[in-house]
């Protein structure tokens, strides 16, 4: 059993977890389409993916496998762009859409909820929750018609364990968890599976300030994590591959933590970084007088 020849779409595939997932599928011979908002980043990621595909095929020629990988510039909060990314994935895979991994997400602000700017709340809801919903909506339409397929969303440990001062991030990730459970219940009769992965702290560029230097926040993450190492993108990619592949054909509606056991304890303490900016009173919700 494997994923050779599968049609796979990975949103947020230009870097981080998304790129790691896309490379994992490419190495096993899948037709991979990545999407994201920055074309330059997608082009660089595609070069890495095609090298893996060429190596797996034994061709040694990156161009030989060009038809098996591609990218679409798309903001997942824009419905037409998502629909086009799904259509391009199906076209590249000769009519197939076997799996989707919705990795696009993030947050641009951290601080007390009493000072949370509305533009950051709205933008986080759009990319995390609306983006995942639109990706699910349009990919599940294709999968249900075909009577097969697997959708995997990337959530976060912040959806289950409160991460103080994370604003909309954990809230939207909790919404993703419920969205996937709801969709699994609805789409099961069409043999479409929907599952969710909750990563803990994964070593990516986005969290490099935490993972790549000694600092009190990283020390606190370590204190909260039973297994004594940081997470790697491959840890998430291996599970995504399992959830898309035929080995998990009787598994749906699950929310699975990949976090070294962090969810057994508590969320991280960011106060050493945030207190200088907001003050101790600010971190407990006191808004300064103007």
Active-site amino acid positions:
169
The CA distance from 269 to 247, in Å, is: 38
Is residue 30 within 8 A of residue 1, CB to CB? The reply is no
- Residue 25: which of 75, 67, 82, 68 has the closest Cα? 68
The CA distance from 22 to 102, in Å, is: 11
Q: Calculate helix-pair angle for 79-92, 131-146, nearest 10 degrees.
A: 40
Return the sign of the alpha-carbon dihedral for residues 81, 48, 92, 199: negative
In a 13 Å sphere around the CA of 45, the CA atoms on its Cβ side amount to: 32
């Amino acid at each position: 059993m494997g994923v050779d020849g599968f049609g796979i779409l990975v949103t947020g595939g230009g870097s981080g977890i998304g790129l790691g997932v896309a490379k994992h599928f490419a190495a096993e011979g899948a037709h991979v389409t990545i999407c994201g908002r920055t074309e330059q980043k997608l082009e660089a990621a595609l070069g890495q993916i095609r090298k893996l595909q060429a190596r797996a095929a034994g061709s040694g020629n990156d161009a030989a496998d060009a038809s098996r990988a591609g990218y679409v510039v798309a903001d997942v909060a824009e419905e037409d762009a998502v629909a086009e990314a799904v259509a391009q994935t199906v076209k590249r895979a000769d009519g197939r859409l076997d799996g989707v991994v919705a990795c696009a997400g993030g947050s641009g602000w951290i601080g007390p909820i009493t000072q949370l700017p509305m533009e950051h709340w709205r933008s986080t809801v759009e990319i995390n929750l609306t983006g995942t919903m639109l990706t699910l909506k349009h990919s599940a339409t294709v999968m249900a018609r075909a009577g097969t397929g697997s959708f995997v969303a990337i959530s976060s440990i912040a959806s289950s364990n409160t991460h103080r001062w994370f604003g909309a991030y954990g809230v939207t990730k909790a919404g993703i968890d419920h969205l996937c459970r709801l969709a699994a219940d609805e789409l099961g009769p069409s043999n479409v599976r929907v599952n969710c992965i909750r990563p803990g702290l994964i070593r990516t560029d986005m969290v490099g300030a935490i993972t790549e230097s000694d600092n009190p926040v990283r020390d606190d993450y370590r204190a909260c994590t039973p297994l004594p190492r940081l997470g790697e993108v491959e840890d998430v990619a291996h599970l995504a591959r399992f959830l898309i592949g035929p080995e998990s054909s009787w598994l749906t509606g699950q929310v699975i933590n990949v976090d070294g056991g962090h969810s057994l304890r508590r969320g991280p303490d960011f106060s050493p970084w945030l207190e200088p900016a907001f003050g101790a009173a600010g971190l407990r919700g006191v808004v300064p007088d103007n």
